[in-house]
Chains A and B, each alone.
Chain A
Amino acid sequence: MTEGEFPLARVDCLSRDFDDEVLIYDPQRHEGHCLNSTAAAVWKLCDGNSNPSQIAEVLSRRFSARVDQQVVELTLEQLANVHLLAEAEAPAKAPSRRVAIRRIGMAAAIALPLITSIVAPTPANAATCLHGGQPCSTGAQCCSGICVLGRCFLGDRRKPGAKIRSSGVRDWSASGGTR
Chain B
Amino acid sequence: MAAEGGARPGMRRLHMLYADSLRVARCAALDQLLEAFEADLHLYTATASPDLTFLHAGVVGWKGRAIVVPGSSFSGKTTLVREMLCLGATYYSDEFAVVDNSGLVHPFARPLGIREEGSHAQTKHSAERLGAPSGVRPLPVGMAVICEYKAGARWQPTPLSRGQGALELLANSVAIRSQSRQTLIRVHRLAKQALFFRGARGEAREAAASILNLSSEPGRLETE
Which residues of A are at the interface with B, using a C-beta cutoff of 8 A?
Answer: 14, 16, 18-19, 21-23, 25, 27, 30, 32-36, 116, 118, 120-124, 126-137, 143, 150, 154, 156, 158-163
Contacts and interface: CB of A to CB of B under 8 A. Distances in A.
Secondary structure dominating the interface of A: loop
Interface string B46-70: 1100000001100000000000000
A153 to B, nearest CB: 12
B172 interface: yes
A150 B27 contact: yes
A120 B180 CA distance: 10
A18, A116, A121, A123 interface centre (most CB from chain B within 10 Å): A123
B24 A137 contact: yes
Contact of B170 (A18, A120, A127): A120
Contacts of B174: 121, 123, 126-127
Contact of A130 (B22, B39, B47, B170): B39
B129 interface: no
Interface size for chain B: under 10, 10 to 19, 20 to 34, or 35 or more residues?
A: 35 or more
A30 B74 CA distance: 24
A18 B191 contact: yes
A23 B161 CA distance: 11
Nearest to A171: B161
Contacts of A23: 163, 166-167, 170, 184, 187-188
A66 B213 CA distance: 43
A16 B36 contact: no
Contacts of B27: 135, 150
Contact of A18 (B35, B162, B168): B162
Contacts of A154: 120
Contacts of B220: none
Interface string B193-210: 000000000000000000
Given A133-B120, A156-B73, A160-B56, A18 B180 contact: no
A134 B29 CA distance: 11
B163 A22 contact: yes
B86 interface: no
Given A14-B184, A25-B180, A156-B73, A134 B35 contact: yes
B186 to A, nearest CB: 10
A34 B166 contact: yes
